[in-house]
Structure 1
Amino acid sequence: MPSTSFCAALLTSGFAVRTALAYTQVNVPSPFMNKNIDPIVFPGSYSSSHLHSFYGSDGVTASTTKSRQIKKDTCTNAENPNDLSVYWTPTLLYQSGDDWEPVPVMRFSAYYGLGDEPAEIPIPRNLMMLAGNSKATTPDEMVPEAHAEWFCEGDEDAGSDANGFPSQTCSTHMQQLLYFPNCVNTETLETAYKDGEPGSYHDCPAGMQAMPQLRFSIRYDLREVVSGGWSGTAPVKLASGNAYSSHGDFINGWTKEGNANLVLAMQSKDSYISVNGDRGNDGDTMDCEAVDAEPDMGTSDYAESVSMMSKRSVPALGWSSKSRFARKA
């Protein structure tokens, strides 16, 4: 897993001299649901997926595979009403007695264009994409271009435990970063990463164009739910396994005007550009509550989700050994 030195390098070296390149972000205060669905990997299924945390538009169901299925009258808990996109990640869990419960999220942020060259085209309508490898159990199995990493925000790096999580108590938040592809073929909607890395990207592969790059930044707050802290193995796991299985999913739901203004923001010479549109301005929230569109389908309970997959969970804290999720005999 990349160390926090990669993140620090963006802020202190290469990225610092490139601050003329603009970016924007959309903040979401918390997931609007935790549920065992994955519209991209297991479309239509309510029993095949591990538990995920969903942010953004509540128009998503297990069968949502295109932007047009996210109706304009749905609600989003994103702090930009022009962004009806759906973002999701495997749920981070902590042990509460004999149960595993979702770790509280302080804030989810979707950054666009941070450390990248200006975009050539908007994010295509109906684009779905993934970042990371949900089946990874070791650093070598991770997708290097996704730069998935975990660290304690603002703390001195104390290294990672055997499962890829911070090896000591976070004084503030445990933070996760994850980069998505920034190139797309507009006809096939195939995506790829540019050559290079954030802060020193190069060209897209042949037949592809550059779109605003998406980066997840998630801040988890363990201070109350793990009040005693830890030293050594972090008392957390992802619903998909250890930290090396970090991954994220995205369905584009930006409005036409918002999407166009997203590209314009990437062209600007200011460090931060607000993306506004006909539904409102950056920072505005909708006068509604984002909720599960199908509350009677699937489950939000981790143990039940494992049972519905007809598999068993590794019982130990963390995931220092391979997560097998073996089928019951």
Structure 2
Amino acid sequence: MGTAVLAVGAVVFGVVGYGFLTGGHTVTSAAVYVDIAQAPAVPVPPPVLPGASTGTWRAECGRNERGVRNSDNVVASPGQPGQAHHVHDYVGNVSTNAFSTDQTLAAAETTCQDDDRSTYYWPVLRVPDDNGDVIAPHDIADGNHGRILTPDAVLLEFRGSPVGNVISMPRFMRASTGNAKGFSSGGVNTERVQWSCSGSREKVVNTYPRCADGQQVVRIFDFPSCWNGLTTDSASHRTHVVFPNALGACPAGMFPVPQLHMELSYSAPSDVDYTIDTFPEERHSALADHGDFINVMPETLMSTVVGCLNTGRAC
């Protein structure tokens, strides 16, 4: 097992190099691991202004106990099964696949309470295991194999805006965070996905943390929350809903909607090289981590969420 070096931000970490097969070739992993004690502190949030929407709403959707998984991505590759080339975990809408439509999602069952039929998904996390979980025949060829870890807990929390009230997001709006090709693109659009440990939440890192024995590995996803007021998607899946600026304000002509914040907690052994599933060219780098969301809340439920956030309550 060789070791390379990769610079991440201002810190240099060791990269554990191990081979996997893809297309008949051996590819070296780009997985980077860092002791959480060496990680930087959580960034300071923007100041909360008078009239801010300071409430929170938690969606209770389970942790994928039903094992709903596939290698599709209906947001990025609709109608193209298996085009993710990595496996996703799903909570919420149990029917989500490459062929899902607004109509099929609205009619499907859900693991969420309050009739929230939204779909929430992310790449699975695996630990090395020769007899690991293979979801599709191309998993091993794509370098994604090993035992899949089901999260111990999944936090889905909608948050308000530090500068004012939020408005309802439209039903069937798509939103993505992170970048499934973050490693090969040099880290573009990867800032909003971070990692931490359950006993060191004051520290975050943009790669895999080494947590102390008995602590959980925590993946953290913040989604964009400034909507263009017109469309539920865009060609790049990134221009119809964008992130606010450093002070929490939306760009001119865009409107603040509830911000989805996701946290996934895992009991990953501290002495194994766990990795997320990725496209082959992303080489299991944590920079390729990402999350996707389709809002399928009934309009009445979305109005309730907005009211909770704008009145500063924890719901």
TM-score computed with the length of structure 2 as normaliser: 0.70
Retained in 2: the 8 A contact 1:145–1:193?
no
Does the 8 Å contact 2:190/2:287 carry over to 1?
no
Relative to total residues, which structure has the larger strand share, 1 or 2? 2
Structure 2 equivalent of residue 152 of structure 1: 197
Q: For residue 77 of structure 2, what is the aligned residue in structure 1?
A: 42
The reply to whether residue 134 of structure 1 matches residue 180 of structure 2 is: yes
The match for 1:54 among 86, 90, 93 is: 90
Residue in 1 aligned with 2:244?
194
Q: In 2, are the aligned partners of 1:28 and 1:107 still within 8 Å (CA)? A: no
Root mean square deviation, CA, Å? 2.9
Which amino acid in the other structure matches residue 110 of structure 2? T
1:91 aligned residue (83, 106, 124): 124
Q: How big is the shift at 1:251?
A: 0.6
Residues in 2 aligned to 1:115 and 1:83: alpha-carbon distance in whole angstroms: 22
Cα shift at 1:116: 3.9
SS in 2 for 1:28: coil
Structure 2 partner of 1:253: 296
Per-residue deviation at 1:119? 3.9
My pick for the range that moved more, 148-157 or 48-57, is 148-157
| Contact 2:116-2:298 within 8 A present in 1 as well | yes
What are the ranges of 5 or more consecutive residues in structure 2 without an aligned counterpart?
Answer: 1-7, 10-38, 133-145, 233-239, 279-283
Q: Where does 1:16-31 land on structure 2 (aligned, <5 Å)?
A: 21-31=54-64
Q: What amino acid sits opposite 2:216 in the alignment?
A: H
SS in 1 for 2:208: coil
For normalisation by structure 1, the TM-score amounts to 0.68
Deviations 1:235-254 (A, max 9, x none): 11111122111110011111
In structure 2, C-alpha distance between the alignment counterparts of 1:142 and 1:153, rounded to whole Å = 27
User: Would you say the 8 A contact 1:151–1:175 is kept in 2?
Assistant: yes
Q: Are the counterparts in 2 of residues 40 and 65 from structure 1 also a CA contact under 8 Å?
A: no
Q: Aligned ranges for residues 307-318 of structure 1 at < 5 Å?
A: none
Q: Which residue of structure 1 aligns with residue 111 of structure 2?
A: 77
- Structure 2 residue aligned with 1:207: 253
Deviations 1:41-74 (A, max 9, x none): 11122222111101101132211243x33134x3
Residues 159, 167 of structure 1: 8 Å contact kept:
no
**Matched AA of 1:220:** Y
Deviates more, 1:131-140 or 1:241-250: 131-140
Amino acid at match of 1:44: G
Pairing partner for 1:182 from 213, 217, 225? 225
Provide the C-alpha distance between the structure 1 equivalents of 2:164 and 2:264, rounded to a whole number of angstroms: 24
Q: What runs of 5+ residues in structure 1 fail to find an aligned partner? A: 275-329
Task: Give the counterpart letter for 2:41 in structure 1.
Answer: S
CA contact (8 A) 2:225 2:242 kept: yes
- What is the CA–CA distance in structure 1 between the aligned matches of 2:253 and 2:96, rounded to whole Å? 31
- The alignment covers a number of residue pairs equal to 250
Distance 2:202 2:114 in 1: 37
